[in-house]
């Protein structure tokens, strides 16, 4: 009788261990999915701003039409990554001044231009809301602001005022 009871206990222990393993696999998968969701969430790149230059505007300041959205504000305002990704480049880029380009997991490039200071480097992994630099007046500008561009698949720029709300962010 004792042998039979011990065998039943071992059988239950094995079943419990198998169930625990299955539960752990589900928990691991949920964590991966949550990490992916967090990585793909978008946030506003700055606070305390006024929208000035809009996508598609024409001006003597630009060689063609305006390819981004300008968030004007005091010099030195913190700029954060709109989403998680990898820093593709970070440095001086002519008319864009100090510019950071971050590639998101879906291949979209986000450009952050005219920074007074950049605090990330090419190859860095960043999360949504992580500080990447500070607003400034570098490059072709009339005052301190963040010039934000969205390039799906690394291609031509699309209107950030449309792209941001598609990710539940209202500029």
More confident residue, 27 or 139: 139
CB 53 within 8 A of CB 141: no
Residue 45 lies in a domain: no
Same domain? 63 vs 11 = no
Per-residue confidence (pLDDT) for residue 114, from 0 to 100: 98
DSSP run (H or E) holding 50: strand 50-51
Residue 147 lies in a domain: yes
Are residues 64 and 30 both part of a single domain? Answer: no
Residues 34 and 103 in one domain: no
Residue in 130, 121, 138, 129 with CA at minimum distance from that of residue 75: 138
Q: In terms of Cα–Cα distance, which of 40, 77, 37, 36 is closest to 148?
A: 77
| 2 or 116, higher pLDDT | 116
Provide the number of structural domains found in the chain.
Answer: 2
Looking at the structure, tell me whether residues 19 and 87 fall in a common domain: no
Q: How confident is the model at residue 34 (pLDDT cuts 50, 70, 90)?
A: low
Question: By CB neighbour count within 10 A (0-12 exposed, 13-18 middle, 19+ buried), where does 118 fall?
Answer: buried
Residues 67 and 144 both lie in one domain: yes
Pairing of strands 109-118, 125-126: unpaired
Same domain, 56 and 105: yes
66 lies in the same domain as 139: yes
- 59 and 140 assigned to the same domain: yes
Is it the case that residue 5 has pLDDT exceeding 90?
no
Q: Does 3 share its domain with 74?
A: no
Classified as helix, coil or strand, 25 is helix
Whether residues 34 and 101 share a domain: the answer is no
- Greater model confidence, 8 or 35: 8
Residue 68 lies in a domain: yes
pLDDT tens digits, 47-70: 999 999 888 777 666 567 889 999
pTM for this model (two decimals): 0.77
- Domain span at residue 114 reads 50-167
- Whole-angstrom distance, CA of residue 33 vs CA of residue 37: 6
pLDDT tens for 104-129 read: 999 999 999 999 999 999 999 999 99
Q: Locate tokens 């440095």: which residue?
A: 91
Residue 30 has pLDDT above 80, yes or no: no
156/92 same-domain check: yes
Cβ atoms within 10 Å of 52's Cβ, excluding its own: 16
Q: What is the mean pLDDT of residues 161-166?
A: 94
Of 19-23, 126-130, 140-144, least confident by mean pLDDT is 19-23
Strands (E), 50-84: 50-51, 69-72, 78-80
């Amino acid at each position: 009788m004792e042998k039979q009871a011990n065998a039943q206990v071992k059988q239950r222990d094995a079943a419990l261990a198998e169930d625990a393993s299955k539960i752990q696999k589900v928990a691991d998968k949920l964590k991966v999915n949550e990490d992916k969701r967090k990585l793909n969430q978008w946030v506003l790149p700055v606070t305390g701003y006024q929208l000035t230059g809009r996508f598609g505007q024409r001006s003597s300041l630009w060689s063609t039409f305006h390819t981004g959205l300008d968030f004007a504000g005091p010099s030195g305002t913190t700029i954060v990554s709109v989403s998680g990704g990898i820093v593709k480049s970070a440095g001086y880029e002519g008319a864009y001044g100090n510019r950071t380009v971050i590639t998101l997991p879906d291949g979209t490039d986000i450009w952050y231009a005219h920074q007074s200071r950049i605090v990330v480097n090419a190859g860095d992994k960043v999360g949504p809301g992580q500080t990447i630099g500070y607003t400034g007046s570098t490059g072709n500008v009339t005052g301190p602001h963040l010039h934000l561009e969205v390039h799906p698949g690394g291609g031509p720029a699309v209107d950030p005022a449309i792209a941001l709300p598609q990710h539940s962010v209202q500029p």
